[in-house]
């Protein structure tokens, strides 16, 4: 679950790092599903704000020299 | 030793006219500065022109190694001690050419290319980018806060330009807090640190080179593409690494050096040096920025005390790029003593030296403890699980996002959507900027909230001379004629030729020093007279009568 690792929220991360209960059960399939969904949600949200024509947009971002 | 010292941030923003590929970057930057200056004037209820910049005290050709470059040998872009060559009339003519009759609806007599803000910052057109130079602060946290305040300034300017565009017919302008267009051009996010002049510059350069080559693992902003034009596909840690060619030098726009020697103290020259750092990336992440200012200040402290780790890279420029090009963090770089170390290992040697130094000097103050603990935590995580830092470090957050897209959509590194994500991470608008979207989604930790930033936009740091500069601009906007880092000039009805207040010491004329005088003064003239009585050496007047 690479995405779960990548996009774990701050709250989930604290749970993982600060409350390492010995013998705690591994995350259930449902929990993993939630994280994956949350990662998908993030990408979906970002899909919605990305400029529409990526190739043209990045081509048009031309700067003059700076320091 | 402490992270505390006088420091500041200087951020150049990428500037884009939405829908006009042929827009003149200097005109767009002038639109940004002029528009924001007008907003400030309106907020302050000012009636006269915006306070300008006083170029007295700018010495861009003075080299810290003890010589000056002759003007005729300098690159034109190095001559930052004169007002920009583009005059208001030229800007107006350019705008008129581009926008036709609409340009008449903008008041071009009010064109501003350089101004001082109520928080003590400088906002100006630097070459072809708008630059926000933060007020002087004394802690890394305050450096983060007043740099982030600049992002709010940039956003307010963008919003105001968009709102007025239908009436003015001028371009809609957007700003990006990044450092390259991926088409061979880079622009800077500089830092400055006050250092005692007694510290030999050679010692600074030697101690800083291995540190600057490696600190990107903590404060890099991440970049899609390798090479100055992003010609090789891939992801790298730093925005700036591929634009550096030398170890030490005076230039900032050509043949960029890792250690910059510009000797422009903006303060009492015999006591102070102002180290001008040009190697850094622009940071949006508060944590990356805190560590950038905090760890650099600590390493300067080590060099000042003679306790910096004894490190020398075989080739600092090659090391800078090799470390940047490996987000897996396993690449090692050769040292002159034969060792091979990773960027994280180099950083750890500096961390250990700083910790050891603190132990021998009575333990860290709270600000220093925060930086030391965070530095250690981040280096540990970089060695065990770098992606766990996606909620704290810019380059990791960006990398994680890009990996998510690659995994979901099977995108190659050369796919323009990934380049777009890199670019849009730095968009200053909260609804479009991906950094800001991550914060809004609770996926990026912050040190300051919107209210803190709003306050820092309007108010200077209390514990440096920026307090007097910012409060003068706020209280007496119509009387401040010009200002710069170490002086403010005022025009006063009762004083022929006005008055100039010198501010040679960055830690004087603070809130504590001047607020009793400011609050008792009904107008600028009373303030100047009170200040002249209290600090006669600092106030020069034409004729106070």
Mark whether B524 and B490 lie in a shared domain: yes
Q: Say yes or no: ipTM exceeds 0.85.
A: yes
Mark whether B380 and B474 lie in a shared domain: no
Q: Indicate yes or no: CB of B128 within 8 angstroms of CB of A64.
A: yes
Mark whether B442 and B479 lie in a shared domain: no
Residue numbers in A near B26 (CB within 8 A): 64
Higher pLDDT, residue B74 or B311: B311
Q: Is A65 on the interface with B (CB under 8 A)?
A: yes
Determine, yes or no, domain membership for B158: yes
* Interacting residues of B475 by C-beta distance below 8 A, sequence separation 6+: B518, B524, B527
Q: Is A26 on the interface with B (CB under 8 A)?
A: no
Q: Of B179, B29, B18, whose CA–CA distance to B91 is shortest?
A: B29
**Percent of chain B whose predicted confidence (pLDDT) is above 90:** 80
Determine, yes or no, domain membership for B278: yes
Mark whether B111 and B84 lie in a shared domain: yes
**Residue B61: which pLDDT band, with cuts at 50, 70 and 90?**
confident
B351-393: pLDDT as tens digits: 999 999 998 988 899 999 999 999 999 999 999 999 999 999 9
DSSP B356-399: HHHHHTT---HHHHHHHHHHHHHHHHHHH-GGGGTTT-HHHHHH
Mean pLDDT, residues B442-466: 98
Q: How many angstroms away from the CA of B239 is the closest CA of chain A? A: 13
B456-467: burial string, b at 16+ Cβ within 10 Å, e else: bbbbbbebbbbb
Residue numbers in B near A48 (CB within 8 A): none
Mark whether B247 and B290 lie in a shared domain: yes
Mark whether B438 and B465 lie in a shared domain: no
B260-273: pLDDT as tens digits: 999 999 999 999 99
Q: Indicate yes or no: CB of B183 within 8 angstroms of CB of A6.
A: no
Mark whether B59 and B151 lie in a shared domain: yes
- Return the SS3 of B57: coil
The span from the CA of B69 to the CA of B491, in Å, is: 35
Mark whether B150 and B71 lie in a shared domain: yes
Best of A12, A63, A65 to mutate (most B CBs within 10 Å, chain B): A63
**Each residue's pLDDT expressed in tens, for chain A with a length of 67 residues:** 344 444 444 444 433 344 334 444 444 455 555 566 677 889 999 999 999 999 999 999 999 877 7
**Residue B88: which pLDDT band, with cuts at 50, 70 and 90?**
low
- Mean pLDDT across chain B, nearest whole number? 92
Determine, yes or no, domain membership for B332: yes
Task: State which of B408, B427, B448 marks the end of a domain.
Answer: B448
Tokens at residue B227, please? 């090479």
Task: State which of B132, B155, B176 marks the end of a domain.
Answer: B176
- Return the SS3 of B414: coil
Determine, yes or no, domain membership for B184: no
Nearest CB neighbour to A42, from listed B180, B424, B443: B443
Task: Please give the pLDDT value at position B49.
Answer: 74
Determine, yes or no, domain membership for B94: yes
Tokens at residue B214, please? 């490696």
B226-248: pLDDT as tens digits: 999 999 999 999 999 999 999 99
Angle between helices B394-409 and B416-424 (to 10 degrees): 150
Determine, yes or no, domain membership for B309: yes
The helix or strand, by DSSP H or E, that contains position B203, with its residue range, turns out to be helix B201-214
A13-36: burial string, b at 16+ Cβ within 10 Å, e else: eeeeeeeeeeeeeeeeeeeeeebe
B154-204: pLDDT as tens digits: 999 999 999 998 888 889 999 999 999 999 999 999 999 999 999 999 999
Mark whether B168 and B223 lie in a shared domain: no
Helices within A1-67 (DSSP H only): 2-7, 10-18, 29-49, 54-60
Mark whether B194 and B171 lie in a shared domain: no
Mark whether B154 and B200 lie in a shared domain: no
Determine, yes or no, domain membership for B453: no
Count how many domains chain B has. Answer: 3
Q: How many angstroms away from the CA of B391 is the closest CA of chain A? A: 7
Task: Please give the pLDDT value at position A8.
Answer: 42
Range of the domain at B483: 459-543
User: Which one of B54, B126, B142, B171 is the catalytic residue?
Assistant: B126
Determine, yes or no, domain membership for B183: no
Task: State which of B176, B200, B235 marks the end of a domain.
Answer: B176
Residue numbers in A near B407 (CB within 8 A): 2-3
Nearest CB neighbour to A67, from listed B278, B403, B424: B278
The span from the CA of B288 to the CA of B395, in Å, is: 9
Q: Where are the beta strands (DSSP E) in B69-169?
A: 114-116, 122-126, 129-133
B45, burial (CB in 10 Å: exposed 0-12, middle 13-18, buried 19+): exposed
Task: Please give the pLDDT value at position A5.
Answer: 45
Mean pLDDT, residues B446-470: 98
Q: How many angstroms away from the CA of B296 is the closest CA of chain A? A: 20
Q: Is B478 a catalytic residue?
A: no
Q: Indicate yes or no: CB of B407 within 8 angstroms of CB of A10.
A: no
**Residue B302: which pLDDT band, with cuts at 50, 70 and 90?**
very high
Mark whether B172 and B198 lie in a shared domain: no
Q: Indicate yes or no: CB of B420 within 8 angstroms of CB of A58.
A: yes
């Amino acid at each position: 679950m690479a995405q779960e690792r990548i996009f774990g929220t701050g709250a989930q991360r604290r749970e993982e790092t600060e409350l390492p209960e010995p013998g705690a059960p591994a995350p259930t399939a449902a929990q993993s599903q939630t994280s994956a969904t949350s990662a998908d949600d993030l990408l979906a949200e970002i899909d919605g704000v990305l400029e529409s024509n990526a190739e043209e947009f990045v081509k048009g971002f031309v700067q003059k020299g700076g320091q | 030793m402490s992270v505390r010292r006088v420091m500041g941030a200087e951020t150049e923003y990428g500037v884009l006219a939405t829908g006009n590929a042929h827009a003149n970057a200097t005109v767009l930057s002038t639109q940004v500065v002029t528009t924001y200056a007008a907003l400030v004037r309106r907020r302050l209820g000012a009636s006269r022109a915006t306070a300008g910049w006083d170029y007295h005290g700018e010495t861009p050709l003075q080299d810290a190694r003890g010589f000056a470059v002759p003007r005729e040998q300098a690159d034109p872009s190095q001559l930052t001690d004169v007002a920009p060559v583009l005059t208001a009339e030229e800007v107006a003519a350019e705008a008129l050419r581009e926008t036709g009759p609409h340009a008449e609806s903008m008041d071009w007599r009010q064109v501003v290319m350089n101004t001082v803000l109520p928080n003590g910052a400088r906002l100006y057109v630097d070459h072809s980018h708008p630059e926000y130079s933060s007020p002087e602060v004394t802690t890394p946290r305050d450096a983060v806060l007043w740099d982030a305040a600049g992002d709010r300034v940039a956003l307010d300017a963008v919003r105001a330009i968009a709102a007025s565009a239908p009436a003015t017919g001028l371009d809609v302008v957007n700003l990006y807090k990044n450092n390259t267009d991926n088409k061979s051009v880079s622009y800077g996010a500089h830092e400055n640190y006050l250092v005692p002049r007694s510290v030999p510059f050679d010692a600074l350069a030697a101690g800083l080179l291995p540190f600057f080559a490696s600190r990107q693992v903590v404060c890099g902003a991440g970049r899609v593409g390798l090479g100055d034009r992003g010609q090789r596909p891939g992801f790298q840690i730093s925005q700036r690494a591929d634009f550096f060619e030398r170890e030490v030098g005076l230039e900032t726009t050509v043949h960029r050096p890792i250690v910059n020697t510009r000797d422009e103290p903006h303060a009492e020259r015999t006591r102070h040096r102002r180290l001008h750092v040009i190697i850094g990336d622009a940071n949006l992440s508060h944590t990356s920025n805190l560590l950038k200012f905090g760890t650099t200040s600590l390493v300067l402290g080590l060099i000042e005390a003679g306790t910096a780790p004894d490190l020398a890279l075989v080739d600092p420029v090659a090391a800078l790029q090799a470390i940047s090009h490996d987000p897996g963090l396993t690449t090692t770089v050769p040292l002159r003593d034969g060792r091979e170390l990773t960027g994280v290992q180099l950083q750890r040697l500096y961390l250990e030296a700083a910790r050891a130094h603190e132990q021998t000097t009575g333990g860290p103050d709270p600000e220093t403890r925060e930086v030391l603990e965070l530095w250690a935590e981040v280096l540990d995580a970089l060695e065990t699980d770098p992606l766990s830092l996606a909620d704290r470090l810019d380059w990791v957050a960006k990398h994680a996002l890009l990996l998510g897209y690659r995994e979901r959509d099977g995108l190659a590194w050369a796919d323009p959507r990934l380049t777009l994500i890199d670019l849009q991470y730095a968009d200053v608008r909260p609804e479009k900027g991906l950094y800001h979207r991550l914060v809004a989604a609770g996926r990026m930790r912050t040190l300051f909230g919107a209210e803190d930033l709003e306050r820092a936009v309007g108010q200077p740091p209390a514990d440096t001379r920026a307090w007097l500069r910012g409060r003068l601009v706020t209280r007496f906007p119509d009387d401040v004629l010009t200002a710069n880092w170490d002086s403010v000039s005022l025009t006063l009805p009762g004083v022929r030729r006005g008055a100039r207040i010198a501010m040679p010491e960055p830690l004087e004329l603070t809130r504590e020093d001047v607020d009793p005088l400011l609050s008792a003064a009904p107008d600028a003239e009373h303030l100047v007279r009170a200040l002249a009585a209290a600090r006669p050496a600092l106030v020069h007047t034409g004729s106070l009568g």
